[in-house]
């Protein structure tokens, strides 16, 4: 993969990371969007969509309420698509999920650290903020957004580097058959996470709607 393409993915991962919390929360951070666009950049939309779907399923584990800590699947999906595209096939899909999960965990930790840095900056400026100085307020805000952009860029860079390293190991020759099993259980885990996440949200009055949806979806799959 060319350096230009890696740089493009890095910029996309950074925008995706910014969108998650900071600016503008238009949901380009959703794995389905992040993965599809990363796939398009690589000229491999099916892989982008497939990994986008898998991480969209993982995303259903998360309810971003209050100060809850959670993995960051946007930049992770970009890195996962890059890994899957380079390795290719079922093994690529499985390794893509592995790269994405590790990157997602690191992304989540980085958000927590960034929030602590933001808190420290606010504490330092507390006295000036109490005087109503708008310049200090705006500077604090902009600095925090830039900090988030840098953080998202670093997380994406880590994921992309991990993908390159895995590809360099030429795992395709070593794990020719394991790749299929890996892909099956990794994607299965995503579906399990989405199902459990949805069951957490579905309350008793809406259970019938959930069952109707399940039946309808299953019928569509069966009739195909």
Partner 1 sequence: MRVPLIRTLLRLFTVQGSWNYERMLGVGFGVAEEPLLRDLAGARSREAGSAYRGAVARGAHFFNAHPYLCGLAVGATARAEHDGVLPAQIERLRTALCGPLGSLGDTLVWAGWLPFTSGVALAAVALGFGWWAVVGFLVVYNAGHIALRCWALRAGWAHGMNVATALRHPALQRSGAVVAPAMALAMGAALPLVAGYLGGPFTPSLRLAFAVAVGSGILLLRWRWLRLTGVRLGLTFVALGLVAGWLWR
Of residues 119-158, those binding partner 1 (CB under 8 A): 119, 121-123, 129-134, 137-138, 140-145, 148
Give the residue, chosen from 5, 109, 115, 161, that forms a contact with partner 1 under the rule CB under 8 A: 115
- CA–CA distance, 57 with 59 (Å, rounded to integer): 5
**113 near partner 1, rule: CB under 8 A:** no
Of 106 and 160, which has the nearer Cβ to partner 1? Answer: 106
For the CB of residue 173, give the shortest distance to partner 1 in the complex, in Å: 14
CB atoms within 10 A of CB 161: 14
Of 14 and 97, which has the nearer Cβ to partner 1? Answer: 97
For the CB of residue 3, give the shortest distance to partner 1 in the complex, in Å: 27
Q: Which residues of 121-137 are buried (b: 16+ CB within 10 A; e: fewer)?
A: eeeebeeeeeeeeeeee
**173 near partner 1, rule: CB under 8 A:** no
- CA–CA distance, 171 with 179 (Å, rounded to integer): 9
**In sequence order, what are the residues at sequence separation of 6 or more whose Cβ sits closer than 8 angstroms to the Cβ of residue 209?**
202
HSE at residue 144, side-chain half, CA atoms within 13 A, is: 21
**97 near partner 1, rule: CB under 8 A:** yes
- CA–CA distance, 209 with 193 (Å, rounded to integer): 20
Of 3 and 177, which has the nearer Cβ to partner 1? Answer: 177
Q: Is the dihedral of CA 104, 108, 113, 114 positive or negative?
A: positive
Size of the site for partner 1 (CB under 8 A): 104
Of 4 and 203, which has the nearer Cβ to partner 1? Answer: 203
- CA–CA distance, 107 with 101 (Å, rounded to integer): 10
**94 near partner 1, rule: CB under 8 A:** yes
- CA–CA distance, 173 with 168 (Å, rounded to integer): 11
Of 8 and 98, which has the nearer Cβ to partner 1? Answer: 98
User: Among residues 98, 78, 74, 60, which one has the least CA distance to residue 26?
Assistant: 74
**88 near partner 1, rule: CB under 8 A:** no
For the CB of residue 220, give the shortest distance to partner 1 in the complex, in Å: 6
Residues in the chain: 224
Of 82 and 103, which has the nearer Cβ to partner 1? Answer: 103
Site string for partner 1, 176-195 (x = CB under 8 A): -xxxxxxxxxxxxxxxxxxx
In the range 13-72, which residues lie near partner 1 by CB under 8 A?
21-28, 30, 32-33, 36, 45, 49-50, 52-54, 56-67, 71
Q: Return the structure tokens found at 155.
A: 């997380």
């Amino acid at each position: 993969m060319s350096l230009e393409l890696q740089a493009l993915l890095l910029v996309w991962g950074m925008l995706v990371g910014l969108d998650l919390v900071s600016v503008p929360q238009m949901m380009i951070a959703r794995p389905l969007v992040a993965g599809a666009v990363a796939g398009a950049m690589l000229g491999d939309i099916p892989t982008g969509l497939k990994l986008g779907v898998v991480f969209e399923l993982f995303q259903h584990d998360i309810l971003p309420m209050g100060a809850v800590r959670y993995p960051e699947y946007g930049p992770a999906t970009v890195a996962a698509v890059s890994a899957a595209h380079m390795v290719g096939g079922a093994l690529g899909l499985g390794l893509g999920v592995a790269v994405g999960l590790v990157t997602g965990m690191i992304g989540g930790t980085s958000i927590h650290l960034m929030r602590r840095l933001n808190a420290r900056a606010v504490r330092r400026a507390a006295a000036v903020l109490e005087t109503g100085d708008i310049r200090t307020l705006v500077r604090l805000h902009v600095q925090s957004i830039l900090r988030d952009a840098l953080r998202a860029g670093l997380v994406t860079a880590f994921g992309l580097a991990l993908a390159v390293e895995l590809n360099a190991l030429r795992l395709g020759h070593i794990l020719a058959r394991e790749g299929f099993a890996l892909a099956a259980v990794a994607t299965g885990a995503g579906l399990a996470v989405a199902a459990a996440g949805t069951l957490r949200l579905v309350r008793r009055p809406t259970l019938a709607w959930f069952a109707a949806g399940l039946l309808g979806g299953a019928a569509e799959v069966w009739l195909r």
